[in-house]
Structure 1
Amino acid sequence: MTASSARPWLDVTLPIHRRAELLVAAMSIDECAAQLDQLRIDEITEDDVREGVGSAILATSATAGNDAQPASSAPQLDALQRVAVERSRLGIPLVFARDVIHGHHTIFPIPLGQAASWDAELVEASCRAAAVEASADGIRWTFAPMLDVCRDPRWGRVAESYGESAHLTGALGVAAVHGFQTADLAAPDAIAACAKHFAGYSAAEGGRDHNTAEISRPTLEDVYLPPFHAATLAGCASVMAAFNTVDGLPAGSNRALLTGVLRERWGFDGLVVTDWNAVAETRDHGTAADTADAAAQCLLAGSDVDMVSRLFRAELPGLVARGRVAERAVREAAARVLRFKLRLGLFERPFTGERPCVQRAPHRALARRCVARGAVLLANAHETLPLAAEHNRLALVGPLADAKAELFGTWVLDGIVSEVASLAQALERAGRAVTTGATSWADDAKPAQFDGASATSAADGADAIIVVVGERPDRSGEANSVVDPSLPAGQPELLEHVLELARARAQRPPRLVLVVIAGRPLVLPACADAFGAVLWSFHPGSEGGLGLADVLLGAAEPGGRLPITIPRHGGQIPIFHDHTPTGRPLGEYHRQPGAHGGRRYLDCAGAPKWRFGEGHGYTAFALREARVLSAHAEAGVRLSCTVANAGVRAGETVVQVYVADPVAELSQPVRRLVAFMRVSLDAGASRELQIGVEARALAYCHRDGARRVDAGQYVAWIGFHSSDGAPIEFEMVDARVRV
């Protein structure tokens, strides 16, 4: 008797759905329920594995992104896998999951920093590199990308987001899915992606993590859901239910969301996993009476895998016996888990084994390029940057001037600090004479402190003073929200001190460069305006020092554009580019770029400090002949423009397309991003571009709850940031598209 005849689900000639059906039919209800449990790696036992537990998460706490975690080990995981395959009744392999958020051993910029690149190909390549490294350690499932559109920088998990635009988030999320999974999820170096947190988690009130999110139906449909829809269309293997309530129900027990939207409307056939302990936490929300009620509600809503609370395995068999939950519902969820494992090829290749050593040098080179591509030059008066060869004596001051581990950012479990060069070291390697000072951290809870004497000593005789400020990784990420997203204590005083030092050298003043390295948009003090250049890098990862040195010295272009608005004061939050016009706007919004309708303050300007999409390179670009070529609801919109490099060196820019629907059934944003394109041009060169906009990008939620495209008049802008460009009016015809 062959193995496939004894266990027909091992027959690879059968379709995956059929193999899963055959296996589920051979399972007891207890074995089905066990497949729905995901246990912590430090709690899972051989008995659990023999009894059929489905997966293990390689983490030991709910906030693993902030805590030191045990290293992932392929031999350790293979040993546990051998128990599952050889000593359990049916030999169903485990799947091992870990939060591979922005790299594994090679750490790339945080997702917000990757979003600043506006480069989907680069995001895909970084996720591909992460998958190659993680899979070599036995990891086949990651809980990324995070597709929460974020409009509140107080929320610590903005670091994991792709920013404030649903369109940019969706485009980069699709790229991440392709990078993690490849075209063949069963390939040994592919890992399953997980779109999270479904849905509305980033709308937490007050920017407080895990808090209530009160979201209107149009906002949910038009802002928070589209990136997830894009990811499911791209074949994302799994989705994670959010912690928050939607319409009063926790997302993990929200049938309208998980079954109505995700499965029935979108046709999603993948796996739904709850967030850490979220099944048990339905009781804390006040919507479940006890653990049995919590398990029943979440399973029947559409949750397939219970992350660490152990309630599915403990409660579902009894619930089935009592008639509270239909046996079919448990078996259907188990079938989805098994299809997930079959798609990963785990039945054919359950062990990592002796994999070839991963060649990480190309990954590190890619990470270095990502740093430069995501570095945002926000000010550059009198061409302060790049620093020419004659600017040889450099003073680096500030808490991040000589930092290494702090460059990683949040959610780094397997990064290798010994491989990191600080910014000071990177500039020294480039041949510059570097002195450092005031490199210790102040504490937000203590009075402002900085080492003025060491800053003064370092700056003495320097050709340029580079002040490197920002945040430690533990000031952003999960459960690390702040009430005031300003520069941390002591750092504004350091900026003032450096400015005084520069003013004292009237005969030969040094160039002043401010480098901000952070996990979120920060409100900078007014004195930051006195610096000749401001360069922003969202925590840049392993190659952060080298990549930023490339930009500062002109070896690489600062390629970043803001994926999120930077406010001038915390009291403006939330502030974002695609706000609605209000009844008393500051002007006719589509004819006055930059007007933030209704955002008047007595003590602060209404406009942000830096706008969504803003950023400069080391050359000047111009845009002309912008026009709409065609507009049809089935085919979308086609636009054209000519972009020219008017500077003296080669460079890159990001051409951005925004659209408004001035008269609609429901009030629509003054403008929203609908397309973008990176363009590289030699000095003096020009290029005609044609840019397509999909019809779904113009759809919105109508009063009946359906998302569709309106016929009628629209306005488009083609420019270099969210308030740039002249308005172009066009008419959409034959608008019958529903999405």
Structure 2
Amino acid sequence: MITKYTKFIAGIVTISIFYLASCQQSTPQTNSDQDGRVTELMSQMSVEDKVGQMTQITLSMLMKDNQLNIEELKNAIINKKVGSILNVNGTPLSIEEWHELLTSIQDIATKETTLKIPVLYGIDAIHGTTYTQGSTLFPHNIGMGATRNPDLVKQSAKITALETRASGIRWNFDPALGIARQPLWSRYEEMYGEATVLSTVLGSAAITAYEEDGLDQVTAVASCMKHFLGYSVPLSGKDRTPAYIPDTQLREIFLPPFEAAVQSGTSTVMINSGEINGVPVHASKYYLTDILRGELGFEGLAVTDWEDIIRLHGRHHVAATPKEAVKIAINAGIDMSMVPVDYSFFDYLVELVNEGEVPMSRIDEAVYRILKLKYDLGLFDNAYPEQEAIANFGKASYKDVALNAALESITLLKNEGQTLPLDKNAKVLLMGPAANNHGSLHGSWSYTWQGQDESQFADETLTLKSALEAKIGTGNVTCNTTAVFEDAANTSLDFLKKNAAKSDVIVLAIGEKSYAESPGGIHDLNLEANQIELAKAAYATGKPVVLLIAQGRPRVISPIVEGADAIVNLYRPASQGATATMEILFGDYNPNGVLPFSYPRHAGDILLYDRKHTEEVTEFIPDSYGGGGYNPQWAFGYGLSYTTFEYGDIQLDKKAYAKNETITVAIDITNTGDRDGKLAIDLFVSDLYASVTPSYKKLKKFSKENFKAGETKTVTFTLDGKDLTYINAESQKTLEAGEFTVSIGDKKSTFELK
């Protein structure tokens, strides 16, 4: 067993020396140098050596009594040749513990094996460095989509890279590039929104931040675009269940973020755990080789998600045996299996190669990608945690970025009679299950997988209750909520009735507890009944009521919308989310987040902003049901401010364009209020007529601008041919002549493409 802290203390002494050394750029190796090293190493490897590199196991396999089991570690690395390890054993580790753990792993890999190939360690650090104590957590991607701010995404991802690398880990399973179009889905919060361009632009910004410095630098990690392809729209709404996606939609809606990610230089890809049109993606040569490699030109490492190869047999039933499952997946194009709880993959694949069922060329192709990534990451030059990287962990400035991200994401949905901002001298009755619960503000992958362990959040991380008390004083806050989301006290109608009269305003923190992946599955998009009843009881008191909604997906709240005086959607704002919420509630910050999705009015009416015209069935549907058109509770892009904005007419530099010309779109926008404010500006394009049914409109460009009170700015966008293309009936990108409409705010303008 390893002894905690001893190696770390020795490393601390040398931080300054290493830090100075890290500031001196080493001479980068050329691709030919790397190719030569990889090829030379592969010439020395046996079949077992190569298959071992393709094997990834979870850390818990190597633990005993919460300590690293050195004998099992030796078995994994020396006997089974394991090339990659992932995950954490339940709870987050300190920097010291991560360094000690990884040092023990690399000691065996580089000192007790013949080939001395270092282990590649991977982790899910999807909104901050998830599994390291004291790391900075940022709003989940659904909130980042609400910011419409690629710079904030890039800053957050850069800090995640710095703190992950400081932990000794060089491979991050992020960003998630699915499109959030199934609100029942439990991983909805990990997506940037329902518009393709949000995932395309914001995902690429994250990848750039992770990798732009060079993977061998202490400021970078290898990114992983995921989950390729079509994972985010399971028909049932349950995680890892089938999606049914026409090829035209697959290419128009779901493929572009991955295409952009490849162009941005992502190093790895993780594969969709589900299936598309009855074909498991892990078994599909069409998706994994023809599209991913052939069409997108991706050259990096393809890794499965958790147990997804073995599930081709046990779950998908496309392989008669577990061994056949391995054969199908590897021949389809998988490079590394996240097995991750046994050595069956290793044993089966060695047999398959020796039997000629999997060609050695396929093995060599996969192993080349794995070893090249290890070389690129600098693992062969220094496999150990880099002591100079520690200086990049936990800087005070990181909290400022997290705060800014939360501030720009939080979305004001209703503000009747200017209920907000609240008076800082107000007496506030605070209730609701999210009022004193960290998890509901943070969501999945927050120090633990499910994000529900309240003991793992630092004392300085505020809940809404503690943030409110810090803002206006404990004497002005009445609250009986507990840290347990499901505690009946949080929605006690008796407590509400006893304390409402002595309060000036009632603030209800409602929404969802934290969850991740399948455990977050739900059968009903409607918010739980006890929270609905709490809101109705609050309205009955006659006091102004403010709803704060902490949630990872848009839960239907239509029964309580009308009675609320103000409604604020928090998403999962994370470590600085409670502080940001109070800054907005009391007017110290002017809200500017906008919805990255269409907020449904009814659980069974999920029309999206880019719907087809034919999806709007307006005949024979009573007005009492909202008609049959696009009738969300709040539309995609909606969000209020404490100031007001006025849009001038859209200005086009021409009225007709050739297909190869750039289209310049300008609009004057004025802040007509008396407060400074930021404004998210969305530009939509509508193709009026096409050879396949066109969408009502498509978000093509967006920006975020700051306006002084009374200021007018001219905001300019450019469009080109690729912004006007669509996928035709033959699944090909096409650009057709015709009329198009561009819209910004409440303004529209039409142009012709010749």
Q: Above 0.5 in TM-score?
A: yes
Is the contact made by 2:650 and 2:748 (CA closer than 8 Å) also made in structure 1? no
Q: 1:366 aligns with which of 401, 407, 424?
A: 401
1:436 aligns with 2:478: yes
Q: 2:84 aligns with which of 55, 73, 77?
A: 55
Shift of 1:682: 0.1
1:395 match: 429
Is the contact made by 1:103 and 1:127 (CA closer than 8 Å) also made in structure 2? yes
Pair 1:447–1:681, CA change in 2 (3 A): closer
Is the contact made by 1:417 and 1:542 (CA closer than 8 Å) also made in structure 2? no
Pair 1:599–1:699, CA change in 2 (3 A): farther
Question: For residues 473-552 of structure 1, what are the structure 2 equivalents within 5 Å?
Answer: 473-474=514-515, 477-501=517-541, 503=542, 510-552=543-585
Q: 2:168 aligns with which of 138, 143, 152?
A: 138
State the one-letter code of the partner of 1:677: S
State the one-letter code of the partner of 2:529: A
Shift of 1:443: 8.4
1:460 aligns with 2:488: no
Give the structure-1-normalised TM-score.
Answer: 0.89
Is the contact made by 1:617 and 1:651 (CA closer than 8 Å) also made in structure 2? yes
1:93 aligns with 2:118: yes
2:673 match: 647
Give me the whole-angstrom Cα distance separating, in 2, the residues matched to 1:697 and 1:176.
22
Give me the whole-angstrom Cα distance separating, in 2, the residues matched to 1:238 and 1:182.
15
Shift of 1:659: 0.9
1:564 aligns with 2:597: yes
Give the structure-2-normalised TM-score.
Answer: 0.87
Is the contact made by 2:145 and 2:193 (CA closer than 8 Å) also made in structure 1? yes
State the one-letter code of the partner of 1:702: N
1:386 aligns with 2:421: yes
1:295 aligns with 2:326: yes
Is the contact made by 1:244 and 1:251 (CA closer than 8 Å) also made in structure 2? yes
Shift of 1:581: 0.7
State the one-letter code of the partner of 1:373: E
Query: Secondary structure at 2:634's aligned position in 1?
Result: coil
1:321 match: 354
Shift of 1:634: 3.7
2:145 match: 115
Shift of 1:447: 10
2:625 match: 603
State the one-letter code of the partner of 2:693: S
Q: Deviations for 1:597-635, whole angstroms, at most 9, x for unmatched residues?
A: 998776344401011110011110111121333555445
Gaps of 5+ in 1: 1-9, 61-66, 504-509, 587-596, 720-724, 734-739
Q: Deviations for 1:216-246, whole angstroms, at most 9, x for unmatched residues?
A: 1111111111111111111111111111222
Shift of 1:584: 6.9
State the one-letter code of the partner of 2:443: G
Give me the whole-angstrom Cα distance separating, in 2, the residues matched to 1:497 and 1:48.
59
State the one-letter code of the partner of 2:50: C
State the one-letter code of the partner of 1:622: E
Gaps of 5+ in 2: 1-26, 63-72, 130-134, 449-455
1:308 aligns with 2:339: yes
State the one-letter code of the partner of 2:396: A
2:652 match: 628
Is the contact made by 1:106 and 1:416 (CA closer than 8 Å) also made in structure 2? no
Shift of 1:270: 0.8
Pair 1:73–1:600, CA change in 2 (3 A): farther
Is the contact made by 1:186 and 1:345 (CA closer than 8 Å) also made in structure 2? yes
Give me the whole-angstrom Cα distance separating, in 1, the residues matched to 2:442 and 2:198.
23
Give me the whole-angstrom Cα distance separating, in 2, the residues matched to 1:211 and 1:399.
30
1:427 match: 468
Give me the whole-angstrom Cα distance separating, in 2, the residues matched to 1:458 and 1:178.
51
Pair 1:583–1:281, CA change in 2 (3 A): closer
Shift of 1:638: 2.3
Query: Secondary structure at 1:213's aligned position in 2?
Result: coil
State the one-letter code of the partner of 1:729: T
Moved more, 112-121 or 686-695: 686-695
Shift of 1:532: 1.7
Pair 1:478–1:184, CA change in 2 (3 A): farther
Moved more, 211-220 or 636-645: 636-645
Is the contact made by 2:674 and 2:709 (CA closer than 8 Å) also made in structure 1? yes
Q: Deviations for 1:316-347, whole angstroms, at most 9, x for unmatched residues?
A: 22222222121111011000001111121211
Question: For residues 215-364 of structure 1, what are the structure 2 equivalents within 5 Å?
Answer: 215-283=245-313, 284-309=315-340, 310-355=343-388, 356-357=390-391, 358-364=393-399
Over the aligned positions, Cα root-mean-square deviation in angstroms equals 2.4
Pair 1:39–1:694, CA change in 2 (3 A): farther
Q: Percent identity?
A: 29
Moved more, 178-187 or 127-136: 178-187
Q: How many residues align?
A: 692
Query: Secondary structure at 1:231's aligned position in 2?
Result: helix
1:413 match: 447
State the one-letter code of the partner of 1:292: K
1:593 match: none
Give me the whole-angstrom Cα distance separating, in 2, the residues matched to 1:583 and 1:116.
26
Give me the whole-angstrom Cα distance separating, in 1, the residues matched to 2:682 and 2:658.
20
Q: 2:38 aligns with which of 7, 20, 27?
A: 20
Query: Secondary structure at 2:387's aligned position in 1?
Result: coil
Query: Secondary structure at 1:570's aligned position in 2?
Result: coil
State the one-letter code of the partner of 1:382: G
State the one-letter code of the partner of 2:331: L
Is the contact made by 1:438 and 1:455 (CA closer than 8 Å) also made in structure 2? no
Q: 2:743 aligns with which of 692, 717, 727?
A: 717
Shift of 1:710: 2.0
Give me the whole-angstrom Cα distance separating, in 1, the residues matched to 2:377 and 2:74.
23
Moved more, 646-655 or 189-198: 189-198
Pair 1:449–1:385, CA change in 2 (3 A): closer
1:614 aligns with 2:638: yes
Give me the whole-angstrom Cα distance separating, in 1, the residues matched to 2:437 and 2:279.
44
Shift of 1:424: 2.2
State the one-letter code of the partner of 1:613: G
Give me the whole-angstrom Cα distance separating, in 1, the residues matched to 2:435 and 2:476.
10
Give me the whole-angstrom Cα distance separating, in 2, the residues matched to 1:563 and 1:583.
20
Pair 1:322–1:300, CA change in 2 (3 A): same
Is the contact made by 2:482 and 2:490 (CA closer than 8 Å) also made in structure 1? no
Pair 1:458–1:696, CA change in 2 (3 A): farther
Give me the whole-angstrom Cα distance separating, in 2, the residues matched to 1:447 and 1:417.
25
Give me the whole-angstrom Cα distance separating, in 1, the residues matched to 2:178 and 2:658.
30
Question: For residues 652-667 of structure 1, what are the structure 2 equivalents within 5 Å?
Answer: 652-667=678-693
Q: Deviations for 1:497-541, whole angstroms, at most 9, x for unmatched residues?
A: 11111x2xxxxxx44211111111011142332222111111211
Pair 1:26–1:695, CA change in 2 (3 A): farther
Shift of 1:349: 2.3
Shift of 1:436: 3.1
Is the contact made by 2:411 and 2:640 (CA closer than 8 Å) also made in structure 1? yes
Q: Deviations for 1:365-414, whole angstroms, at most 9, x for unmatched residues?
A: 2111111110000111221111234x432221212222234322112136
1:376 match: 411
Shift of 1:212: 0.9
Shift of 1:421: 1.1
Give me the whole-angstrom Cα distance separating, in 1, the residues matched to 2:347 and 2:623.
55
1:181 match: 211
Is the contact made by 1:566 and 1:610 (CA closer than 8 Å) also made in structure 2? yes
State the one-letter code of the partner of 2:358: V
Pair 1:660–1:150, CA change in 2 (3 A): same
Query: Secondary structure at 1:644's aligned position in 2?
Result: strand
Query: Secondary structure at 2:520's aligned position in 1?
Result: coil
Moved more, 607-616 or 348-357: 348-357
Q: Deviations for 1:71-95, whole angstroms, at most 9, x for unmatched residues?
A: 6612111111111112111111111
Pair 1:524–1:264, CA change in 2 (3 A): same
Give me the whole-angstrom Cα distance separating, in 2, the residues matched to 1:666 and 1:438.
57
Query: Secondary structure at 2:399's aligned position in 1?
Result: helix
Q: Deviations for 1:540-581, whole angstroms, at most 9, x for unmatched residues?
A: 1111111111111111121210001111110113x2101111
1:40 aligns with 2:58: yes
Pair 1:632–1:50, CA change in 2 (3 A): farther
Shift of 1:250: 1.1
Give me the whole-angstrom Cα distance separating, in 2, the residues matched to 1:443 and 1:123.
29
State the one-letter code of the partner of 1:629: D
